[in-house]
Chain A
Amino acid sequence: MKTTSIRSALLFAVAFSATALASQAASQSFDFKDPKGVNNVQFKLDAPLESITGTATGISGNVSFDATNPGAISGRIVLDTASLTVGNPVMGDHLKSANWLDVAKYPAITFEAASIANVRTQGAQVLADVSGKLTVKGVTKDVTVPVTFTYLADKLGARLGDEKVKGDLLVLRATFAINRNEYDIQPGQYADKVSDTINLSLSIAGAAPRS
């Protein structure tokens, strides 16, 4: 009787471990460092004369994603603040200066995903609200961002122009806004010259090679 119980317990443990391993194996790690320079963040602030718009392409980070269980996502996206670009060079220098983003002291803007909610499928896309910690200029705040995930199976080779390369792509798109006062970016200052709200639009693709 005792031997049967031990055997059952062992079988259960093996079965549980196998299930856990299978679950882990289905989750892929996507690297968002993009050699093609396509990944980008666009930002926009309203201003009296004209909106201040710019882009940033220095994106890196990793996201764990399971196409069969999108609710289990986790990961971190990093934006190199030195890659921020605007059309007017004087404005660009101001933006990167110590008074505004202080790029020399705070070289990265990061978003660390903590949880995901409201997951729903729309065609080939998965829509969800991703909550996590956004760090800008050394200030970390909890934010919830609506994100669209597009999983592109076996598209890595086509993207790299080398069909021998096997792997998948994950495209993330998000549009949201933050308040610069909350991130110590000239809080309460220059309200007549530039809006408090910074509109952000993120379009990035990560790659998960397969051997």
Chain B
Amino acid sequence: MKPTTSLLSFGLRGAAITALVLTLGTWIATGSHVGWTQTSIVQLQHDEITGIDFPVHKDAFIAGVEVLAAGLVAASAFAVLSFLPRLRRVEAARF
């Protein structure tokens, strides 16, 4: 029983670290945007004849704070769950 519990805890901690690294990595790689997630970006182009600057939309994924928050919550949840088997063993040993 003990090795199975350890494996579960180990797996959950691994998932927590993976979620944390993936979330932070994605957020930093897409520009550390302190705003809402964007699925397109606007690039201004210049029309030579009229002199008008006009927006051109391009598909892009920029992770926002909600992605960061969701990833951190998931990583925290995995980390907390990984300690539950140990807490149960402590409770069982007490009674």
Contact = CB atoms under 8 A, between A and B. Distances in A.
B87 interface: no
A158 interface: yes
B41 A87 contact: yes
B5 interface: no
Interface residues of B, number: 21
Interface string A189-204: 0000000000000011
Interface size class, chain A? 20 to 34
A42 B55 contact: yes
A159 B49 contact: yes
Mostly, the A contact residues are: mixed
A152 B57 contact: no
A40 B55 contact: yes
B65 A49 contact: yes
Interface string B39-50: 111100001011
B35 to A, nearest CB: 4
A55 B44 CA distance: 11
B52 A55 contact: no
A169 B50 contact: yes
Contact of B49 (A50, A155, A203): A155
B41 to A, nearest CB: 7
A39 B38 contact: no
A125 to B, nearest CB: 10
A63 interface: no
A30 to B, nearest CB: 12
Interface in A34-59: 36-40, 42, 49-50, 55, 57
A122 interface: no
B58 to A, nearest CB: 10
A158 B48 CA distance: 10
A89 B35 contact: no
A203 B54 contact: yes
Interface string A139-151: 0000000000010
B36 A37 contact: no
Interface string A98-139: 000000000000000000000000000000000000000000
Nearest to A201: B53
A40 B52 contact: yes
Interface of A: 36-40, 42, 49-50, 55, 57, 85, 87-91, 150, 152, 155, 158-159, 169, 171, 203-205
